[in-house]
Amino acid sequence: MEDIFLYLCPDKGGVANLFGGGDSKKVDDPISYCKIKAKDYENPNPKLEWKEMTEEPIEDKIDSPELAGVIGFRLSIIRADKVYNYFDETKKQQVDSRIDLKSQSNWKKALRRRPDSKKIRCYLFQCKDLPAADEDGASDPMVIVYNTVDEDSNKERMKKQVCETECIEDNCDPMFYQLLELKVDYTRGEPLPPFIFDVYDVDKNIVKSDDRDYMGRCVVDIDDVAKKYVCERATEETN
């Protein structure tokens, strides 16, 4: 088995069916997917992993490809009849035996219906060397980042989850110098989801709403940023 495709499909029966509270088990057509390699998931005790999704081209249910989403999952591909050499957490040593996934510490963790949430402050300074999106050789960029916290799926409240900068007109190297406060869902002891900053070129309209053209994105892994910060502080204290 080489490739595995994970599909994101809306639940026709409502959220209650995810927890066994409804009668319908149907799902809608897929809206996005990600492709992974089976050989990368032979770890019997995997951590939570985050992947960017890709727009499903056949169904074409997403207005723009950057809206395909990000998913978090844990996956082990293990043959039940195969003997593996792996680290047994109970015995604290390498062993040769069949693997019982239920005995692995990460698989013992129960999934919570509602994860914890934290507020993170982001200081957004500038973008550099953005492509020219307008005929005059410049762009009118703004940056958008979404909060992940969503308690009741209310559409009006969800609009407030969007954090965006001001639009800097006629500039391919915009300086924003803005503070954004982001709310993020997380499970204690698991990796935080990445923050995704999408850059748009904005064409302002007087009558109708502004037109926004997607330019690109920056994916920030919080764990990598934290490790870099710790290393930099350690270097400064050493010097």
> Average pLDDT of 123-131?
90
> Average pLDDT of 161-178?
89
Q: Which residues contact 57 (CB under 8 A, 6 or more apart)?
A: none
DSSP track, 139-151: --EEEEEE----S
CATH of the structural domain 116-229, one choice from 2.60.40.150, 1.10.3720.10, 1.20.1250.20, 2.50.20.10: 2.60.40.150
Q: What is the pLDDT of residue 111?
A: 67
Q: What is the pLDDT of residue 201?
A: 92
Q: What is the pLDDT of residue 16?
A: 43
DSSP state of 11: B
> Average pLDDT of 108-126?
77
- Tens-digit pLDDT profile for residues 27-62: 677 888 999 998 899 888 888 888 888 888 776 777
Q: Which residues contact 203 (CB under 8 A, 6 or more apart)?
A: 134, 140, 210, 211, 212, 213
pLDDT bracket for residue 233 (50, 70, 90): very low
Evaluate if residue 208 carries a pLDDT over 60: yes
Q: Where are the alpha helices (DSSP H) in 95-176?
A: 105-108, 155-159
pLDDT bracket for residue 154 (50, 70, 90): low
pTM of the model: 0.67
> What gap in Å lies between CA 150 and CA 236, rounded to an integer?
39
> What gap in Å lies between CA 139 and CA 137, rounded to an integer?
7
pLDDT bracket for residue 231 (50, 70, 90): very low
Q: How far apart are the first and last CA of the chain?
A: 51
Least Cα distance to 121 among 13, 222, 19 occurs for 222
Map out the domains of the chain as residue ranges: 3-108, 116-229
Averaged pLDDT of the chain: 77
Question: What region, left, alpha or beta, does residue 88 occupy, with left being phi > 0 and alpha being psi -120 to 50 degrees?
Answer: beta
Evaluate if residue 18 carries a pLDDT over 60: no
